[in-house]
Chain A
Amino acid sequence: MSENLTLVQAVRDGLHDGMAEDDDVLVMGEDVGQNGGVFRATEGLYEEFGDDRVIDTPLAESGIIGSAVGMAAYGLKPVPEIQFSGFMYPGFDQVVSHMSRLRTRSRGRFTLPMVLRAPMGGGIRAPEHHSESKEAFYAHEAGLKVAMPSTPYDAKGMLIASIRDPDPVVFLEPKKIYRAFREDVPDDPYEVELGDAAVRTEGEDVSVFTWGAMTQPTVEAAENLDRIDVEVVDLRSLSPIDFDTIIESFKKTGRAAIVHEAPNTGGLGAEITATIQEEALLYQEAPVERITGFDVPFPLAALEDYYLPEPARIAAGIEEAFDF
């Protein structure tokens, strides 16, 4: 049995099933309880599982993440929500100094089966600090896994895989596509393996690597480019990254473009480009194109469309890689 769900409903479904199958799983954060989350990602969970397992915390991200670390070390499986990824930073010390490396520091004595969820990214005309894409911060941090689904099916499957994972996962949800489209999502719990990319469109000419809310406009750009046979790879997992799939695709096409909404400098596009150089230099026919956000603070809503890569800019980059 399956249901036709939006991405945010699929997240909710994944949380629900994760909680239903394991009593140690709990959800905590700001406004996740009675309010059901500001995006309704926890809707109905408070009513079903009660206030011991769906916890409205005080407004304090370090408290949320730090106490989740303590809970996880003591045997629970907390799934803290940070209301917007832009409000992670009061808790960033906990993420970087503890969540990522408790396993290492304690030589395996204390491990953290926890999932830190946060809506991220631009495109919904949100106020200041609500729209950034900072996935590279987390991917930069050894010991963390980083997931970013781009479809309802993946959202549920990756969330369940994350909850069951013995290591801490930062689960970033592109809120622009929270309600953009629906997809059949199985009722029963299932896993979409972390670290496994998905080829969204197969092609022979140019490989385009992307993730999150950029997947849709990239597929659209690829479809508009009649003369170029584009392969679109949705990475889904940003740590670990599925380099096997990336390299395999690149060896086939010899040309690549990378699309992310995060700023260009230090973005994951650089990591992918470098790995292509290391692993497949002799296959390379053109410089790797990066189509990204700019190296400026994410602008307020009136200009956000200009900041975000969209099909025209993406297509131009793909053509650049093809025509070189």
Chain B
Amino acid sequence: MTETIHRAPDDTYRVLDENGELVDGAEVPDLTDDELVEMYRYMKLARRFDERAVSLQRQGRIGTYPPLSGQEGAQIASAMALADDDWIVPSYREHGASLVRGLPLKDTLLYWMGDERGNAIPAEENIFTVAVPIASQIPHATGMGWASQLKDESDTAFMCYFGDGATSEGDFHEGLNFAGVYDTPNVFFCNNNQWAISVPREQQTATDTLAQKAAAYGFEGVQVDGMDPLAVYQVAHDAIEKAKDPDEDEMRPTLIEAVQYRFGAHTTADDPSVYREESEVEAWKDKDPIPRLETFLVETDRLDDAAIESIEADIEDAVADAIEAAEETPRPDPASMFENVYAEMPQRLEQQLEYFQSIRDEYGDEALLED
């Protein structure tokens, strides 16, 4: 029984305060210095990628893009707590978590460039395909965990990510209820970034916390400071352990509410100035997870200016390389939209494909494209 998981739902777990100092009595998670620096590097990389992606969208080089800035601590630390065989079942904003799990940034870019190949997760990575319909991935995560149990596996956890708004959907209830009933090895990780587009968290539910909703399903729900990567790591780690190897009187699933903030727009198509005050954003920026972790690492001699500089240079290159690789990828073959619809193409679809190719031959692709 770990105290990170067995606590009142509004008793937010913290390790670092806003200034990057250890909270009284808090323990640093059991990570090597290298792993802690790696966590920092991933967070910086996710932030830099995010900045570049937003600006690529502004230049018309990618399509609509959902920024993650402010949410790096929750995403990176929770994903780092997983073992190689574990799975993540993401929403559309988990570029950071997916990065940790091995999804190339180039693929993330391709997806938001409207190229289906960005949705083809490399075969060796345990990352489920992005879910855009809110909360619809939650029952999938439950089903995967349930299947793993039915297959007599005992060492795989399934981490499902979703937002605060998602907790209002029926799929949230059904997914968590099944998880409770079948005691599945799941961690339900709610990225409560305070907003579902323009709707604030307070209008989403009348409960004080999202974490407390877990009580209705018979398992634990805890809040963690989602902008404190060390706290997120610890809580995620303990929830993953419990999913795999619960105590006799424990249930496997856990709901984690990671309290955080979306610094940017909901997506590049959104204008947050219509519905929220800049002062609110500024107040949350004081909790920015990156300087917090940086201060902690510097003050505990795990990181110095030279190392920061080299990390920054390194991530600049990594992001530039990903952008170059995505932009140099030849446009998808138009006929590829007919592929992978079925294991075997039905005759009617074959005929449509044939017709499509004849139209392309006759008129040329230029004529089929919007100007």
- Mark A residues whose CB is within 8 Å of B: 30-31, 33-36, 38, 56, 58-63, 86-87, 89-90, 123, 125-130, 264-265, 294-297, 299-307, 310, 312-313, 316
B278 contacts partner chain A, Cβ-Cβ < 8 Å: no
- Contact A265/B348 with A34-B274, A294-B338 known, Cβ cut-off 8 Å: yes
B199 contacts partner chain A, Cβ-Cβ < 8 Å: yes
- Contact A59/B165 with A294-B338, A300-B116, A303-B337 known, Cβ cut-off 8 Å: yes
B300 contacts partner chain A, Cβ-Cβ < 8 Å: no
Q: Please tell me if the beta carbons of B359 and A313 are within 8 angstroms of each other in the complex.
A: yes
Measured CA separation A125–B111 after assembly (Å)? 12
Q: Please tell me if the beta carbons of B134 and A38 are within 8 angstroms of each other in the complex.
A: no
Measured CA separation A296–B355 after assembly (Å)? 14
- When distances are taken between beta carbons in the complex, the residues of chain B under 8 Å from A60 are 168-170
Which residue of chain A has the shortest Cβ distance to B196 in the bound complex?
A: A59
- When distances are taken between beta carbons in the complex, the residues of chain B under 8 Å from A303 are 114, 116, 332, 334, 336-337
- When distances are taken between beta carbons in the complex, the residues of chain B under 8 Å from A300 are 111, 114-116, 119
A296 to chain B, nearest CB (A): 5
- When distances are taken between beta carbons in the complex, the residues of chain B under 8 Å from A295 are 341, 348-349, 352
Which residue of chain A has the shortest Cβ distance to B92 in the bound complex?
A: A127
- When distances are taken between beta carbons in the complex, the residues of chain B under 8 Å from A312 are 359, 363, 367-368
Q: Please tell me if the beta carbons of B363 and A123 are within 8 angstroms of each other in the complex.
A: no
- Contact A35/B133 with A58-B205, A59-B166, A297-B341 known, Cβ cut-off 8 Å: no
- Mark B residues whose CB is within 8 Å of A: 63-64, 92, 111-116, 119, 130, 132-136, 165-166, 168-171, 196-199, 203-205, 269-270, 274-275, 331-332, 334, 336-338, 341, 348-349, 352, 356, 359, 362-363, 365, 367-370
Q: Please tell me if the beta carbons of A35 and B274 are within 8 angstroms of each other in the complex.
A: yes
Q: Please tell me if the beta carbons of A310 and B113 are within 8 angstroms of each other in the complex.
A: no
A287 to chain B, nearest CB (A): 14
Ordered by A's residue number, 24 sampled pairs between the chains whose C-beta atoms are within 8 Å are A30-B197, A35-B197, A35-B198, A38-B270, A59-B168, A60-B168, A60-B170, A63-B168, A90-B169, A126-B63, A295-B341, A295-B352, A296-B338, A299-B337, A301-B63, A302-B114, A302-B115, A302-B331, A303-B116, A303-B332, A305-B369, A306-B337, A313-B363, A316-B362
- When distances are taken between beta carbons in the complex, the residues of chain A under 8 Å from B115 are 300, 302
Which residue of chain A has the shortest Cβ distance to B205 in the bound complex?
A: A58
Measured CA separation A124–B341 after assembly (Å)? 23
- Contact A316/B205 with A62-B170, A306-B337 known, Cβ cut-off 8 Å: no
Q: Which of B134, B198, B275, B370 contacts A305 (CB 8 A)?
A: B370
Measured CA separation A307–B132 after assembly (Å)? 21
Q: Please tell me if the beta carbons of A306 and B368 are within 8 angstroms of each other in the complex.
A: yes
Q: Which of B116, B199, B348, B349 contacts A58 (CB 8 A)?
A: B199
- When distances are taken between beta carbons in the complex, the residues of chain B under 8 Å from A34 are 198, 274-275
B164 to chain A, nearest CB (A): 9
- When distances are taken between beta carbons in the complex, the residues of chain A under 8 Å from B367 are 310, 312
Q: Please tell me if the beta carbons of A86 and B92 are within 8 angstroms of each other in the complex.
A: no
Q: Please tell me if the beta carbons of A87 and B133 are within 8 angstroms of each other in the complex.
A: yes
Q: Please tell me if the beta carbons of B359 and A316 are within 8 angstroms of each other in the complex.
A: yes
Q: Please tell me if the beta carbons of A129 and B275 are within 8 angstroms of each other in the complex.
A: no
Measured CA separation A57–B340 after assembly (Å)? 37
Measured CA separation A126–B362 after assembly (Å)? 29
Measured CA separation A56–B204 after assembly (Å)? 9
Which residue of chain A has the shortest Cβ distance to B206 in the bound complex?
A: A58
Which residue of chain A has the shortest Cβ distance to B163 in the bound complex?
A: A59
